Structure 1
Amino acid sequence: MADAESGKALSGLLNGIAQSKYYGNTEITEELLKTELYAELPPDEFRALHDKMRGIIKSIVSADMDLNQIDAFLTAQTKKQGGITADQSLVIAKFWKNHKKKIRESVINQSRWENTLKSLKWRVDVKSQSRHTDQGSSSTAIVEMEIGGKDKEAEFLCLELNETKMNEMLKKLSEVEESLAALTQIS
């Protein structure tokens, strides 16, 4: 029974750390976690446990570990002196399996400082030739983009491009792609 309760308390601690550090919930504090989950634990022991778990989560998040990596990492942590127990390892692995996607999205969103492309729609409109005019058929590309930031309202941008402008834009995008490829190969 004590193992199940300690597993629940550790799971609650990990969730609390995720809530405060990655999900922006300012109501979850270290003091709240101590009083709600580990009231019987002396303050210095709780602080050590809290800091250890926060460090483990930070390592897992920064490496964006998959399930194989997490198993290897946690196994190493159990063998390390002053590391974690096998039961704690299981709770941490389960926590990461359940929270990986949401924490990853949160970290990505926190690291953005500019607007992002939220959606992109495009189509090609073709004008057909009319019997009464000499104008031939022409095509136009219509590109609609939704752009927005963290706390900003989304803006919409609509571009109408003929074949010449579309080819120019594709050429410029190709140049950008080549520049980025060259920069990433240098690093």
Structure 2
Amino acid sequence: MAAQLSAKSVLGVLNGLSRRLYFGDESMTDEFLREQVEYGGSIEEFSAILKRYESLLVSIAAAHMEFTQLQAFLSSQTKKRENPLSEDDVPVLQKFWKSQRTKIHEALVRRSHADGQLTDLSWRIDVKSKARNLDQINQPTAIVEMQIDQSVGKGREILRFEMDEQHTKDMLQHINDIQTQIDKFTK
């Protein structure tokens, strides 16, 4: 039978697993976690313990559980016939989730943006004072810069472009069409 982990060790395991699962910290190996919590049992027993906590953490994070949902979930886990959750682990999991819920949710959201996310938009209006054609002189042009954070590990991309009056009107119409469609789904 596997030895029971102390509350401090359970919290350490949960923090290590969350760093590995949601924040890409590959240094949080099973062996490293075992050393950190000074587990005295076999490697196989510790692997089973990690698997149990990982399963709980994945379920909790995937559902982005509120506190009342978490309480009900953990209560049901303590009543399971096979491999029930210890009553001593419940407050530790609650404490962990209370402090890490937002961070883990944000990490999951960041990970779900496959093509990047717009993080900054800036613009200015320039008036051309020189041009090949006289009809282009004194015409306003919008210069737009968009900063896009790429998915995890790919950095940032900066996109710059110019738009004349007609292109700006066309783009605004497209944005209004998008807003109309979003409004339809949110009502």
TM class by shorter chain equals 0.7 to 0.9
Aligned equivalent of 1:172, options 155, 170, 174: 174
Secondary structure of 1:86's counterpart equals: coil
The Cα of 1:181 is off from its aligned counterpart by 6.6
Q: Deviations over 1:125-157 (max 9, x none)?
A: 89xxxxxxxxxxx97655432123143453333
Q: Quickly say closer, same or farther: Cα 1:124–1:66, change in 2 above 3 A.
A: farther
**Matching residue of 1:157:** 159
**Matching residue of 2:59:** 59
Q: Take 1:43 and 1:154, find their aligned partners in 2: how far apart are those partners?
A: 41
Amino acid at match of 1:80: K
Q: Deviations over 1:35-70 (max 9, x none)?
A: 331521233332222111100000011111122221
Q: Quickly say closer, same or farther: Cα 1:174–1:93, change in 2 above 3 A.
A: same
Q: Take 1:99 and 1:144, find their aligned partners in 2: how far apart are those partners?
A: 34
The Cα of 1:23 is off from its aligned counterpart by 1.5
Q: Take 1:116 and 1:47, find their aligned partners in 2: how far apart are those partners?
A: 37
Moved more, 12-21 or 142-151: 142-151
Aligned length: 171
Amino acid at match of 2:86: T
The Cα of 1:26 is off from its aligned counterpart by 1.3
Amino acid at match of 2:53: M
Q: Quickly say closer, same or farther: Cα 1:28–1:152, change in 2 above 3 A.
A: closer
**Matching residue of 1:29:** 29
Question: How do residues 64-83 of structure 1 correspond to structure 2 at under 5 angstroms?
Answer: 64-81=64-81, 82-83=83-84
The Cα of 1:95 is off from its aligned counterpart by 0.8
TM-score, normalised relative to structure 1: 0.73
Q: Take 1:75 and 1:32, find their aligned partners in 2: how far apart are those partners?
A: 30
Q: Quickly say closer, same or farther: Cα 1:66–1:142, change in 2 above 3 A.
A: farther
Q: Quickly say closer, same or farther: Cα 1:75–1:125, change in 2 above 3 A.
A: farther
The Cα of 1:161 is off from its aligned counterpart by 4.6
**Matching residue of 1:121:** 122
Q: Quickly say closer, same or farther: Cα 1:146–1:31, change in 2 above 3 A.
A: same
Is contact 2:39-2:46 (8 Å) kept?
Answer: no
Identical columns (%): 33
Q: Take 1:36 and 1:181, find their aligned partners in 2: how far apart are those partners?
A: 51
**Matching residue of 2:134:** none
Secondary structure of 2:168's counterpart equals: helix
Is contact 1:38-1:46 (8 Å) kept?
Answer: no
Q: Take 2:173 and 2:14, find their aligned partners in 1: how far apart are those partners?
A: 49
Q: Take 2:179 and 2:84, find their aligned partners in 1: how far apart are those partners?
A: 45
Q: Take 1:124 and 1:97, find their aligned partners in 2: how far apart are those partners?
A: 47
Q: Take 1:102 and 1:48, find their aligned partners in 2: how far apart are those partners?
A: 26
